[in-house]
Structure 1
Amino acid sequence: MIARYNGLADWYDARFVQEPETHQPGLLELLGPGSGPCLDIGCGTGRNFFTIRESGREIVGVDFSADQLRLARTRSDGPLIEADASNLPFADGSFDTVMALWTSTDLEDFDGSLREATRVLRPGGTLISYGVHPCFNGPHVVYNEDGSRLIHPTYRQTGWHEPAPWWGEDGIRRRVGMRHVPLADFLNAFLRTGLTIERFEEPGDIPIPHALAVKARRT
């Protein structure tokens, strides 16, 4: 596995992280109030840390990019660890809450990362997944200026996608590449964890959603 975000942390932070940080649409409500450590898988530069604190929880972050963690450490004094999402350095049942945001297009093993997230959850613990909508966002999608989307027939191509002409010249896709998990594969990956699915959300109020969120519980 390659830490493709190394060397891009400053660009990423300027483009995707606002100060003071605003909540991603509906994330705080989906997370709900809680306490104790919350594991943020793929925490990046700390984009979600404000929301974790607002919910009453404590931050524990993991990311595969040391460069991203360099900036994340300016936003939290909690433990931030360089680690692979499919091989988490925590004991079984370590967390009441685990979050994975905007990771499905970066992870080489999406199923494995969900299995690991489930493993480190305590019984009764909550998993929040929030990120790219498999149908309306991803390497197969073109965003048009009028708000419509053009879907290319590469939708069913799972895994890594080669750069395409419609990716643009200076976006995240062009800089780090992108993987794709079609909707059925995405949903079945959650079913295979054995978690109890509590809620699906398409956050935000734009006519065509670009994100899909899942809330699940370990019973």
Structure 2
Amino acid sequence: MRTTRQDPYSAVSRQESVLASNKVLRNTYGLLALTLMWAAGVAGVAMMMNLPHPGMLVTLAGFFGLLFLTHKTADSAWGLLSVFAFTGFLGYTAGPIVNAYVSGMANGGELVMMALGGTGAIFLGLSAYVLTTKKDFTFMGGFLFVGIITAFLAGLAAVIFQMPALSLAVSGMFVLLMSGLILFETSRIVNGGETNYIHATVSLFVSIYNLFLSLLHLLGFAND
């Protein structure tokens, strides 16, 4: 009977790949937790000071500008500073939005907590599924890219032309797309497709941020 011998170099290579993926995963979740707390703190300060929303143009310029800066510096020590600048800015933009729900609706605080709970449940559930099954969801990349661009342009149209129905549809689209992005990015980390934890953190943070605001919009509409 003929037996096959396992290549020791191949086994070592696989082990090193697993260790590298686990390291990226730990660093990503650690940095993600810090940035979420930082953004929540900035949002809380913005709410206490009753700061106004910066507006669509400033929000878009700050988002894409700081996102570009973060990706350009992701391989250097400046990457961490860029991440906190980016997430802090998003926290500031979220503060006035949350404040509008809390102060403008009788049960606004409950809606915010429900949106937070739903966001946490979706993120933890999807992440746990990928970590447990190790399934590869990277095939969703092209679909997610097209879907996000389409939803983004539709969202701009809803704001410019003041179309509440379209805005509601965009929020529903973003809930699905951000859920898919969580599966996609977590899968890339687990399977070794993402080796930079700063890139991974930014992707997951943006997913959580958009997921929370989209759920809050849907809950507010249902309540109204």
Does TM, scored on the shorter chain, surpass 0.5? no
Q: Which has the higher contact order (CA 8 A, sep 6+)?
A: 2
Name the one with the larger strand percent.
Answer: 1
Report the structure number with the largest CA radius of gyration.
2
What TM-score does the superposition give when structure 2 sets the normalisation length? 0.23
Name the one with the larger helix percent.
Answer: 2
